[in-house]
Structure 1
Amino acid sequence: MNPMIETMAEQLRGVPGITAVALGGSRARGAERPGSDWDLGLYYRGAPDTAALTALACATADRPVEVAGPGGWGPWVDGGAWLTVGGVAVDWILRDLDRVQRVWSQCREGRYEVGVQPGHPLGFWSPAYPGEVALCRVLADPAGELTALREETRRYPEPLRAALTAAAWEAEFSVAAARKSADGGDTLHVSLCLSRAFGILAQSLHAHHRVWCVNEKGALAAAAALPRTPAGFAERASSALRALDPAAVEAAAALVAEVRAVLGSGG
């Protein structure tokens, strides 16, 4: 662990409203690359002291920083800040702990939402909230709430698995919609439909294997690495997205059918 990050986590925990701080993203999973950002989840209750966060950011970062309060970045990614500290990129991402716990309760019942959110072109899938907790590394948590929630979320809920696996029907529907536009060369509509289809397949495949999927970034490659995913999954999806012609749509349809066969096989 980077000592600067450990110190920052303790400082953040001292900000009124912040209840816990966690390391997320690739560094929490041990999958970082050289130059990967340090993603810090700032879990809060009520309203975090944005002025205090701004003061801390400006005192720590290489240059002045603006901290966006809850809602400043959209309805799902609450807010936060992008910092550069000693040349190192550090992202602060606000998370409403009460909301995360509510979403977790819904997921355990097999309920989820897909909301519009800047930075998430396929929508923000609400299971990302508990998924982030399950995959995080807790850095500061005096009350132990986030640590307890992390232990709960390590077990993927079977009702959510069933719901997200069943959602794969929409991938077939999206490809059918793309088929109607491909002959006319409407590449915007075709690209959106196929992107949606492949994004849903990635979510469904992850759920089928009881693996959290928290972001579109890297989702195709991650899904391709799961057991029994059709051979060449990521490459075939990428090829269809590059071509966007009638042949590409039919190739996408075949891939959707293969994935649905895997999902329907159980296990």
Structure 2
Amino acid sequence: MDQVTKIANRLADVGGVVAVCLGGSRARGTHTPDSDFDLGLYYRPPLDTSALRVLAAELTGGAVEVTEPGGWGAWVDGGGWLTVDGARIDWIYRDLDRVYRIWQQCKAGLFEVGTQAGHPLGVYSHSYAGEVAMGRILADPTNELAALQEQIQASYPQPLRDSLVAHARWEVPFTLSLARKGVTRGDAFYIAGCLFRVAGLLAHALHAQAGCWVLNEKGAVQAAGQLPTAPANFSARAHALFGALGATPDELATAINDADQLAADVLDNLSPG
């Protein structure tokens, strides 16, 4: 960890970098020995990517692909994948002014979902705020990120909670009604997509109700099942929807019925949104 902190301090000296924050399982304390170190590089343009490439080559002993901003897509942004003395260290760009804008939207109850490779449910905009709230700041010379983190950690915005719960209330039954149209055709592909979407919406609603941030799909259902507002066996029931979906009309209809009951058990216990 000392090595990662030293790298963070060097990154903070690169032009455009305002602060560096450890994220992911390493920040939450849920990591395993082989987990990556995810370093969020909070920056303002222009970001000196040439200097980042020089530093990456020095740390790894060879050329490393370090992208320009936007090189990994509209939401993940960009960065680089490094291996330093056997440790995998990922640099992930975050435009700090964009994070501020999204935080203001969160407080107004606004969010959007963006298409992004590697995120089959989509990237929920409020994950940017969640990353700051759940991160561990390693380098922040001006204390700007620390001040923003203090704001976000103070309370989960009630308008955002209401919006996410309300969104699940209408989209979940709508999506399940569409899924039923694929039963007679045996369209397991489409129905599986609908069920995945429903499970994701329920996980987001449960997290919002509990005032907890969810950053992406990985582990979201498992984490949702541990929340106080989750119905009994939520995670097991959600995962079971996909474990034996089947392909016959009867099997597909049964899976949708199970999802419908799970959704009712979740949404009936949430406060109005």
Partner of 1:159: 159
Contact kept, 8 Å, 1:108 with 1:159, in 2: the verdict is: yes
Taking the aligned partners of 2:147 and 2:86, their CA distance within structure 1 comes to 34
Correspondence 1:31 to 2:30: yes
**3-state SS in 2 of match to 1:75:** coil
SS at match of 2:150: helix
Match of residue 240 from structure 1 = 241
Of 57-66 and 111-120, more deviation after overlay is shown by: 57-66
| 1:182 aligned onto 2:183 | yes
Find 1:253's aligned residue among 240, 260, 263: 260
TM-align CA RMSD = 1.2
Amino acid at match of 1:157: P
Secondary structure of 1:262's aligned partner: coil
Structure 2 distance, partners of 1:242, 1:20, is 42
**Structure 1 equivalent of residue 17 of structure 2:** 18
Instruction: Give the counterpart letter for 1:144 in structure 2.
Output: N
Give the unaligned 5+ runs of structure 2: 246-251
Identity %: 51
For the pair 1:173 / 2:180, whether they are aligned, the reply is no
- Any unmatched runs of 5+ in structure 1? none
Query: How far apart in 1 are the matches of 2:186 and 2:54?
Result: 52
Q: Write the deviation string for residues 42-77 of structure 1: whole angstroms up to 9, x where unpaired.
A: 000012111111111111125431011111000011
Q: Secondary structure at the match of 2:223?
A: helix
Q: Which residue of 2 aligns with 1:207?
A: 208
| 8 Å contact from structure 1 (residues 62, 87) kept in 2 | no
Contact kept? 1:203, 1:213, Cα under 8 Å: yes
d(CA) in 1 for partners of 2:165 and 2:127?
A: 16
Shift of residue 248, structure 1, vs aligned partner: 0.7
Matched-pair contact (CA < 8 Å) for 1:19–1:141: yes
Which residue is equivalent to 1:145?
144
The CA deviation at 1:243 is 2.8
Matched length: 265
**Pairwise CA distance, 1:136:** 0.5
1:99 aligns with 2:98: yes
TM-score, L = length of structure 1? 0.96
| Superposition deviation, residue 265 in structure 1 | 6.7
Partner Cα separation in structure 2 for residue 237 and residue 62 of structure 1 = 45
Q: Post-superposition, which runs of at least 4 consecutive aligned residues in structure 1 deviate over 6 A?
A: none
TM-score by length of 2: 0.94
